[in-house]
Amino acid sequence: MNNNIWKIAALALVLTACKSTPMNPAKVEDSSVTKPISNSQNNGNDGSAGTNKIDIKTVDVDSGKDQLSAAELAKRQIFFDYDSDAIRAEYKDLVANHAKYLAAHPQTKVVLQGNTDERGTHEYNLALGQRRSVAVKNALNVLGVSDSQIETVSYGEERSKQNCADDDCFQHDRRVDVVYGQ
Amino acid sequence: MMNILTMQTAKNHLTGIRWMLSTFFCTGVLVWMFANPAQAALEIEISGGSAVQIPIAILPLAEPANAPGKSRIHEIISNDLKGSGMFRVLNTSGVPSLPATAAQIKYTDWTALKAQGLSIGDVQQAPNGNLKINVQVMDVLRQTPLLQSTYTVAPSQYRHVAHLIADQIYEKFTGQPGAFATRIAYVTKAGKRFTLQIADYDGFNAQTLVSSNEPIISPAWAPDGSKMAYVSFEKKKPIVFVQSLYTGERKAVANFKGNNSAPAWSPDGSKLAVVLTYGANSQIYTISADGANLQQVTKSSSIDTEPAFSRDGQYIYFSSDRGGRPQIYKVPVSGGSPSRVTFEGGYNVSPRFSPDGKYLTYIRNDGGSFKVAVQDLGSGDVKLLSTGSQDESPSFAPNSRTIMYATRVGGKGTLATVAVDGLVRQRLSEAGGDIREPAWGPAQAAPK
């Protein structure tokens, strides 16, 4: 966990460094429709660092879209054991990667959709799926993501495969999906 | 081992009766449709029966050639009475001549058959395209009229009138009200398409209320039968809607951050218990039926869900894992300390009361099998009633005699009913899709 916090801090520093660049406030709107200025170009304009923070946000959104397609953020499913909301060790990095991104992009919103397998009642499974999405939210909170960026919801068993014969099949249904908003 | 006196199978095919409802309006992903009778054929399978069944003869009525539907009145009444498990409908093929009027009845024919009741009558054309349906039921032993029932109605009310008459016969012989002239709501899933439907209790006259590509769960009838609350995922999250059956007016009454689910009406219909999460676990709230006046009822870090009002409206019963495994608890509607209700079994959820307040039904996980349980609130006795392994959503008939629930047969979701004494079972299944989440509606008024 500490390791992850350091990673976030490091990433945040890098992103902050990359942010502090655009020269001309009038180009704010344009930058969203034209190709974003590359980081290297930005770094070449350090002289204007910190002159306008509104500009800085615009560049973040564009660079963020690139990052969202990056490999470490493309994984958006966290699987759980039966009747459990504990995040397994193998998903700590996945959660940490999303936490880094969200902490660095406080305007970005994410929906955590909890899911369960079909065993049990629809409404109780909705509550169990919610417990899983809350577990992921709590992990994101610890890694610096604000509550205002996260909505936890549950689909319960509503998207489960039906008539599973073994746990490999049920396993697929016991998950949280990380869904990015606009 | 109880005696099983009858083992019957009846297959009913839907006839083309449509409810006289106002036009619904369209909104978002939802499409309103009138019933397509061909899609809604439900099969009814009946097994079991009461140890003591009342022998009764239900004679065919003289009917005009253009009487609606494939099933005749005497067939509908017979199916209702047989399905209750309380009656044995007699084969009358050996009787030399069947009476059309009370004056023609030769009582020795019927005492020879050991009939206790005998139903006769006719259907006549009436002005304005209406039908005049007339049924008389005789007490064979006393040789006196027991019941005289006449309805002049539109042909669309044909099946409804037959169910009403069956209710009257049931009540005359058993001393308890019937629940044949009632409706149910349920959810179907075919491919990726979900629909919320309402139908007669026997699956006839099915009509789609809501249709969506996202899940629909937890339909709940308002106590007066005029509105339905349910949960729709059409906005990619669970939101509680309330909708008028007759005008189609529809409102999101609980649409807060996180989940909004598990609507349950207060007995007076003024408010709903709902489950909200915001950013944490499921908790129970109450909210006015129009979405105002939100009040938190439970405050825990556990799961609290599946609320149900007690019949006096003073308590909310609910499922909670606050003690480790899910059990049923109750809490005053105004809030306060919950107390535990179920102690037998390691997993009990989905509480629902019988309308007479005498029973609580719920789902018990019995060694990995989810079954319908019923608890006698007077004696505290608990019985497991259902035989499936994934049974859920129990819901009482308005006469408190029968519980409908969802089960799976051959990998497909179907609906089933079981008498509260466990002696009679019926199964309804729709050809094609999956059917789940039944809710038995309140008794329907007689047509005027």
pLDDT reading at B283 higher than 50: yes
Q: Verify whether the Cβ–Cβ distance B393 to A121 is below 8 Å.
A: yes
Helix (H) or strand (E) holding A77: strand A77-79
CB B178 within 8 A of CB B166: yes
Q: Which of B259, B280, B326 sits opposite A153 (nearest CB)?
A: B259
* A128 min Cα distance to partner chain B (Å): 8
% residues pLDDT > 70 (chain B) = 87
Give CB contacts under 8 A, 24+ apart, made by A51-54: A51/A23, A52/A22, A52/A25, A54/A25, A54/A28
pLDDT reading at B372 higher than 60: yes
Q: Which of B217, B258, B370 sits opposite A158 (nearest CB)?
A: B217
Q: For B259-271, what is the mean pLDDT? A: 98
pLDDT in tens, A115-155: 999 999 999 999 999 999 999 999 999 999 999 999 999 99
Best of B196, B233, B235, B277 to substitute, by most chain A Cβ atoms within 10 angstroms, is B277
Phi, psi of A79 (to 5 degrees): -100, 150
Choice between A66 and B171, residue whose per-residue pLDDT is larger: B171
Q: Verify whether the Cβ–Cβ distance A121 to B349 is below 8 Å.
A: yes
pLDDT at B340 (0 to 100): 97
pLDDT reading at A66 higher than 70: no
Q: Verify whether the Cβ–Cβ distance A124 to B437 is below 8 Å.
A: no
pLDDT reading at B34 higher than 70: no
pLDDT at B43 (0 to 100): 54
Q: Verify whether the Cβ–Cβ distance A151 to B275 is below 8 Å.
A: no
* A158 min Cα distance to partner chain B (Å): 6
pLDDT at B432 (0 to 100): 72
Nearest residue of B to residue A149 by CA position?
B279
Q: For B388-415, what is the mean pLDDT? A: 94
Phi, psi of A135 (to 5 degrees): -60, -40
Confidence of residue B49 (pLDDT cuts 50, 70, 90): low
List Cα–Cα distances, B248 to B26, B78, B319, in angstroms. 9, 35, 32
pLDDT at A88 (0 to 100): 96
Does any CB of chain A come closer than 8 Å to the CB of residue B324? no
Of B219-233, B236-250, B426-440, the poorest mean pLDDT is in: B426-440
pLDDT at A45 (0 to 100): 40
Of B43-52, B64-73, B173-182, the poorest mean pLDDT is in: B43-52
pLDDT at A59 (0 to 100): 37
pLDDT in tens, B51-94: 788 999 999 999 999 899 999 999 999 999 998 889 999 999 99
Confidence of residue B2 (pLDDT cuts 50, 70, 90): very low
pLDDT in tens, B300-343: 999 999 999 999 999 999 999 999 999 999 999 999 999 999 99
Choice between B247 and A61, residue whose per-residue pLDDT is larger: B247
- pTM score, two decimals? 0.82
Choice between B199 and A60, residue whose per-residue pLDDT is larger: B199
Q: For B421-435, what is the mean pLDDT? A: 82
Of A172-176, B5-9, B203-207, the poorest mean pLDDT is in: B5-9
Helix (H) or strand (E) holding B330: strand B327-332
Does any CB of chain A come closer than 8 Å to the CB of residue B212? no
DSSP state of B390: B
Confidence of residue B448 (pLDDT cuts 50, 70, 90): low
Q: ipTM of the assembly?
A: 0.86
Q: Which residues of A touch B257 (CB under 8 A)?
A: 151
DSSP-derived secondary structure for B304-322: EEEEEE-TTSSEEEEEE-T
Q: Which residues of A touch B393 (CB under 8 A)?
A: 121-122
Of A93-107, A162-176, B54-68, B101-115, the poorest mean pLDDT is in: A162-176
Q: Which residues of A touch B236 (CB under 8 A)?
A: 111, 113, 153
pLDDT at A65 (0 to 100): 59
Task: Give dist(CA B343, CA B347) in Å, integer.
Answer: 9
Choice between B37 and A119, residue whose per-residue pLDDT is larger: A119
Number of cross-chain residue pairs from A and B with Cβ atoms under 8 Å apart = 97
Using the structure block, give the residue that is written with the tokens 């018990």: B364
Of A2-11, A169-178, B53-62, the poorest mean pLDDT is in: A2-11
* A122 min Cα distance to partner chain B (Å): 7
Nearest residue of B to residue A151 by CA position?
B258
pLDDT reading at B12 higher than 70: no
Q: For B272-283, what is the mean pLDDT? A: 97
pLDDT at B31 (0 to 100): 30
Choice between A15 and A135, residue whose per-residue pLDDT is larger: A135
% residues pLDDT > 70 (chain A) = 63
pLDDT reading at B273 higher than 50: yes
CB B279 within 8 A of CB B270: no
Q: Which of residues 88-127 of A touch B (CB under 8 A)?
A: 111, 113, 118-124, 126-127
Q: Which of B238, B279, B349 sits opposite A124 (nearest CB)?
A: B349
pLDDT reading at B128 higher than 90: yes
Confidence of residue B443 (pLDDT cuts 50, 70, 90): confident
Q: Verify whether the Cβ–Cβ distance B281 to A119 is below 8 Å.
A: no
* A113 min Cα distance to partner chain B (Å): 8
Q: For B229-255, what is the mean pLDDT? A: 96
- Count of other CB atoms within 10 angstroms of residue A97: 23
**Entry field: residues in chain B:** 448
